[in-house]
Structure 1
Amino acid sequence: MLTTLLVRTRAVPPDPPRRRGATTLGPEPDRFGLVKAVLAAVPWLKVGIGATVVLLAAMLPWAMDRALTAMDQQIVAVDVHGDFIGESRVAIERAAGEWVGKSYFATDLEAIKSELEQRPWVASAAVKRVWPGRLEIDIREKKPLAYWTDGRLVSRSGELFTPPNPEVAGRLPRLAGPDERVREVITMARTMSERLVGHGLGFAGLSLETRGAWTLTLNSGVEVVLGRDQVSRRFERFITVYENRLASRLNEVSRVDARYSNGVAVQWKADVAMATPKS
């Protein structure tokens, strides 16, 4: 007797058809995976802070400019300070009047300083702002040491200058020589002046000729010719002769020539005959 067995099975879906000439495809890759990985690796907090700092730095000059513009004032006054002999405080204040009314912050202080130092008597100028609307100027004048050739003045630093009013320097020694040798003349004059003072003599001037010859002038008017060679030795010889022979009679001397090897030649003043009219 045949027994019919019924076997229940699950339906198994058939294999998907294969493409001709191709292998079986795997799972499709994520096209944005690399981008996601890069984005995930970025420290966004630090990036945000950095971007903020850069933005603020870029805006700072603009903000400062706006703040200065809002704070800017006009210059309403200029104060001038200094001890003046040759320069005029009034003249400087008048010249400074051109800066009144200009911008407090935009005014070029270096330009003002440069302009002031072009004035003949001005050795240096310091300019500063004083809030809210003033300029303060400190002037240092040149200190004249002596009169120089052609009425010019020479300062203690050895600078030659030509002010319009050299006479305000008062009584000063007179020096002369080539302009390029002015410091040499000053050095020699200082040395001789110090030596003369020690012997009760006054220094009035020193001249250096183009050919190199030196002539000293005392405040009594006596000229001492020293020549070109051995100038210091000849000067000392004059001092010795003065101490031994001329100290009591210097007012009778007109000129001393120290260019001799063993002594000096003295030129005496001419005697003035005193005529008494007869009655």
Structure 2
Amino acid sequence: MLERLLIRSRAVPSDPPRRKGATSLGPERDRFGLLKAVLAAAPWGQVMMGAAIVLLAAMVPWGTSQFLNAMDRQVMAIDVTGTLVGENRTSLERSAGKWIGRSFFATDLSEIKDSLEQRPWVESAAVKRVWPDRLQVEIREKKPLAYWNSDQLVSRNGELFSPGNPEVAGKLPRLAGPDERVKEVISMARVMADTLTGHNLGFAGLSLEQRGAWTLTMANGIEVVLGRDQVEERFDRFITVYQERLASRSDEVSRVDARYSNGVAVQWKSVEPASRSKS
């Protein structure tokens, strides 16, 4: 029976011979191998660090905003500090009061500063926040040097200002002249005041007329007309004549005209005619 069985089988072809040096990987395995090589070469530590920094930088403003919103309050009070002479503390607090009720963090402090520095007496205003709901304003006033013309003051920095209450400055010298020449008047006044002080005399004021003539006023009320030319020489000559001839009778002198080349003319308080005193 076995002899009748014919077993036919199809020959399985053998693998084709491989070329020397050929690889057995297919195209798909080649691609994955290249990708793995690229990934292995990438600096993943630095990439992750950079990504973390970018994410943190993006979240900080958002987190800060959320924190400030949670901590924010309304401004409940404004405190004014500083030595005040011309300004009134209550008036200043009332002027700054329009910021009460606004956001503690969102309020623009420079806006408050600029507003207060528009006031005549205020030289500068420093504004800061005081947690949780107050603002503090430190005021520095202008320091008046003298009265200027009829209704103004001039500061030690040479700045003219016009407060509504100039009289609170107290006893100060009186200066006068064109506004554009204020610094020239101040400079001349300082020179004359120092000279008078050196001779135990007092300075009360100095005026410069529009046409350029100078007139000095001493603390004892005597006016000294110095004119437009050789003002310093005439002033020195007056000092010499005053010390030698007039000091003992100063309470009788009303006015001295120093515009002479060889002396001064004296106007007395009495009815006497003006006399001529030679230097």
Instruction: Identify the residue that residue 202 of structure 1 maps to in structure 2.
Output: 202
Tell me by how many angstroms 1:135 deviates: 0.8
Instruction: Identify the residue that residue 255 of structure 1 maps to in structure 2.
Output: 255
Aligned to 1:150, the other structure's residue is in SS state coil
Aligned to 1:80, the other structure's residue is in SS state strand
Instruction: Identify the residue that residue 224 of structure 2 maps to in structure 1.
Output: 224
Tell me the distance in 2 between the aligned counterparts of 1:151 and 1:75: 38
Tell me the distance in 1 between the aligned counterparts of 2:14 and 2:60: 73
Instruction: Identify the residue that residue 39 of structure 1 maps to in structure 2.
Output: 39
Tell me the distance in 2 between the aligned counterparts of 1:14 and 1:143: 113
Tell me by how many angstroms 1:13 deviates: 4.9
Tell me the distance in 1 between the aligned counterparts of 2:184 and 2:34: 84
Cα distance change on mapping 1:89 and 1:26 into 2, 3 Å: closer
Tell me the distance in 2 between the aligned counterparts of 1:113 and 1:254: 49
Large movers: runs of 4+ above 6 Å: none
**Greater alpha carbon shift after TM alignment, 213-222 vs 152-161:** 213-222
Cα distance change on mapping 1:72 and 1:12 into 2, 3 Å: closer
Equivalent AA in structure 2 for residue 224 of structure 1? V
Cα distance change on mapping 1:220 and 1:35 into 2, 3 Å: same
Tell me the distance in 2 between the aligned counterparts of 1:147 and 1:226: 21
Cα distance change on mapping 1:46 and 1:271 into 2, 3 Å: same
Aligned to 1:172, the other structure's residue is in SS state coil
**Counterparts of 1:261-272 in structure 2 under 5 Å?**
261-271=261-271
Instruction: Identify the residue that residue 54 of structure 1 maps to in structure 2.
Output: 54
Cα distance change on mapping 1:47 and 1:238 into 2, 3 Å: same
Tell me by how many angstroms 1:197 deviates: 2.1
Q: Deviations over 1:25-82 (max 9, x none)?
A: 9975424444332222112222112211110111110001101111111111111111
Tell me by how many angstroms 1:217 deviates: 0.9
Tell me by how many angstroms 1:12 deviates: 10
Tell me the distance in 2 between the aligned counterparts of 1:140 and 1:43: 60
Instruction: Identify the residue that residue 123 of structure 1 maps to in structure 2.
Output: 123
Tell me the distance in 1 between the aligned counterparts of 2:150 and 2:170: 16
Tell me the distance in 2 between the aligned counterparts of 1:216 and 1:98: 48
Tell me the distance in 1 between the aligned counterparts of 2:169 and 2:44: 76
The answer to whether 1:86 aligns with 2:77 is no
The answer to whether 1:172 aligns with 2:172 is yes
TM-score (norm 2): 0.85
**Greater alpha carbon shift after TM alignment, 34-43 vs 144-153:** 34-43
The answer to whether 1:109 aligns with 2:109 is yes
Tell me by how many angstroms 1:15 deviates: 9.4
Tell me by how many angstroms 1:157 deviates: 1.2
Instruction: Identify the residue that residue 157 of structure 1 maps to in structure 2.
Output: 157
Which sections of structure 1, spanning at least 5 residues, go unmatched?
A: 1-10, 17-24, 273-279
Instruction: Identify the residue that residue 19 of structure 2 maps to in structure 1.
Output: none
**Greater alpha carbon shift after TM alignment, 235-244 vs 41-50:** 41-50
Equivalent AA in structure 1 for residue 88 of structure 2? S
Which sections of structure 2, spanning at least 5 residues, go unmatched?
A: 1-10, 17-21, 273-279
Instruction: Identify the residue that residue 236 of structure 2 maps to in structure 1.
Output: 236
Tell me the distance in 2 between the aligned counterparts of 1:26 and 1:203: 112
RMSD (CA atoms): 2.1
Q: Deviations over 1:236-271 (max 9, x none)?
A: 110000011000111222211112222212222233
Instruction: Identify the residue that residue 145 of structure 1 maps to in structure 2.
Output: 145
Equivalent AA in structure 1 for residue 129 of structure 2? R
Equivalent AA in structure 2 for residue 59 of structure 1? M
Tell me by how many angstroms 1:85 deviates: 1.3
TM-score (norm 1): 0.85
Instruction: Identify the residue that residue 5 of structure 1 maps to in structure 2.
Output: none
Equivalent AA in structure 2 for residue 185 of structure 1? V
